[in-house]
Amino acid sequence: MKRRTLACALSVALGFTAVPGSARSEDLLQIYREALASDPTLAAARANFVATQELLPQARAGLLPVFSLLGNANVQNYSNRVHTDPGVTVTQQFPLYSYTASASQPLYRMQNWISVDQAKVQVGQADYTLASAQQDLIVRVAQAYFDALLAQFTIDLIESQKAAVSENLALAKRNFEVGVATITDTNDAQAKYDQIVAQEISAQNDLANRMAALRAIIGRTPNALVRVDRTYEPQLPKPTAIEPWVAKAISENYQVRIAQSNFDVASLEIDRQRAGHYPTLDLVASFNQTYSGGAATTNIAGNFNQDSRLGVIGVQLNVPLYQGGLVNSRVRQAIANLETSRQNLESARRAAELLAQTSFAGVTSGVAQLKALAQALKSAQVSYDSNKLGLEVGVRTNLDVLNQQQQVFQTRFNIAQAYYNYIINALRLKQSVGTLSDQDVEQINRDLAG
């Protein structure tokens, strides 16, 4: 019963009624689905995922045989004059054709094996990177969507307040004309009305900016957003203790996993660079065929043709002895890069821990804050009604009524803001532990639609 009462109180406080949006209005799920197809950040992450998949076959190519075929065709023109008595002149022109087929199979190349291990880690990392981009999109869409709804709700509150203040201004003017009120009441009401007009202009501009933020994600400005039909009672996170959330965030957060993959690749890079000292052994084979022919013009004419073949098969050993210190320098560089990756991993863990802590606190405090604000709204409404009655009997001024009316509207705004912050923090809490998914968007959309 208490839960239903609180939910009803929040609905009244937020001003949400069960009035569905227009046929052209779009809800959170519709915006998110369009963002999946249109957001350039996610599209870039998908393209990067596809590109990263090619790292593994590229690395494996270093373990597979290599075949090549080289062909040549040319004409040679040779002339030689020997200054003797009698002199001898040799002129020769003949074609030369050859081709060489070669093959090699690595037998021992430690660097290539390590490159395969690195590629496997990077391909796995691509999964985390894409999943992180998808989770980030959920939070960005939800944030932009609820910011736009809050901006629209602010305009609705301002319009309601403007109408109420306009009524008070008219009443103050009538009372002043009949002599039952001073000009002060009229001036107070006029000042409040002018202030609300200025706030309305600012709110309209804020709404335009919020819709522009949505346009940046989906590539167009939504026709309209579905208003929230109702609110559901906020729930505490499960488990209700923060320690399990922090522990899971440190190990399961996608940014932590990405940083861990970078650390693993950097560790393997040290081994790969050290393998530059190791010998390599390849199985090699080649076959060459050459044909040449032509005629020679000398004091004694003659013709000749030549056809040769050469086949080779064996093993080729390469033992690096000294490369000017290149390998040692690369090893030192890889060790320094490993330390960079280690610190980045620690930074990612701390960031995940912070996100879990702040999001958990935002959810738990949001539950308590919404309950307190719901009660504060009831008290503010009672005080406002009392001040209106006091104005009628002459014990309260019009300024007292206007101030209390402002308190009612401000409390309604605070409730709407706290409610949306609660939803965003709930999403970020799941993001911190790597469990945020499309199903969470669908569930929120169902809960808000009633």
Per-residue pLDDT at 107 exceeds 60: yes
pLDDT in tens, 37-74: 999 999 999 999 999 999 999 999 999 999 999 999 98
Q: Is residue 263, in this structure, part of any structural domain at all?
A: yes
How many domains does the chain contain in total? 1
Residue 6 predicted with pLDDT over 60: no
pLDDT at 439: 96
pLDDT band of residue 448 (cuts 50, 70, 90) is confident
What was the pLDDT predicted at 66? Answer: 96
State how far the Cα of 259 lies from the Cα of 116, in Å rounded to an integer.
19
Least confident of 1-10, 260-269, 303-312, 389-398: 1-10
pLDDT at 236 over 50: yes
In a domain? residue 208:
yes
Find the domain containing 216 and state its range.
2-65+109-278+325-449
pLDDT category, 302, cuts 50, 70, 90?
low
- Tell me, what's the pLDDT at 168? 76
Mean pLDDT of 183-189: 81
Q: What is the pLDDT of residue 216?
A: 93
Give residues with Cβ within 8 angstroms of 261, minimum separation 6.
121, 122, 124, 125, 128
Flag whether pLDDT at 146 surpasses 70: yes
Task: Provide mean pLDDT across the span 85-102.
Answer: 82
188-196 long-range Cβ contacts below 8 angstroms, 24+ apart: 188/397, 188/398, 188/399, 188/402, 189/165, 189/398, 189/402, 192/165, 192/168, 192/402, 192/406, 193/162, 193/165, 193/166, 193/169, 196/158, 196/161, 196/162, 196/165
Give the pLDDT confidence score for residue 24 in this predicted structure: 76
The mean pLDDT value of the chain amounts to 87
Residue 311 resides in a domain: no
Evaluate if residue 258 carries a pLDDT over 90.
yes
CATH code, 262: 1.20.1600.10
Q: How confident is the model at residue 189 (pLDDT cuts 50, 70, 90)?
A: confident
Residue-wise pLDDT for 147-164, tens only, equals: 999 999 999 888 888 887
Q: Is residue 210 part of a domain?
A: yes
319 in any annotated domain: no
Cα–Cα dist 90/66, whole Å: 44
Model pLDDT, residue 433: 96
CA dihedral (34, 38, 40, 44) in degrees, to 10, reads 100
In the predicted structure, residue 371 carries a pLDDT above the cut 60:
yes
What pLDDT does residue 262 have?
97
**For the chain, percent of residues with pLDDT exceeding 90:** 61
Return the number of other C-beta atoms located less than 10 Å from residue 353's C-beta: 18
Is position 288 within any domain?
Answer: no
Confirm whether 285 is domain-assigned. no
The burial class, CB within 10 Å (0-12 / 13-18 / 19+), for 97 is middle
Classify 395 as helix, strand or coil. Answer: coil
Tell me the pLDDT tens digit for each residue of 271-288: 999 999 999 999 999 999
CA dihedral 88, 89, 94, 99 (to 10 degrees): 70
Least confident of 3-12, 116-125, 206-215: 3-12
- Quick one: pLDDT at residue 20? 43
Phi, psi at 411, each rounded to 5°:
-65, -40
CB atoms under 10 Å from CB of 123, counted, come to 17
Instruction: Please report, rounded to a whole number, the percentage of residues in the chain having pLDDT higher than 70.
Output: 91
**For residue 330, is it within any domain?**
yes
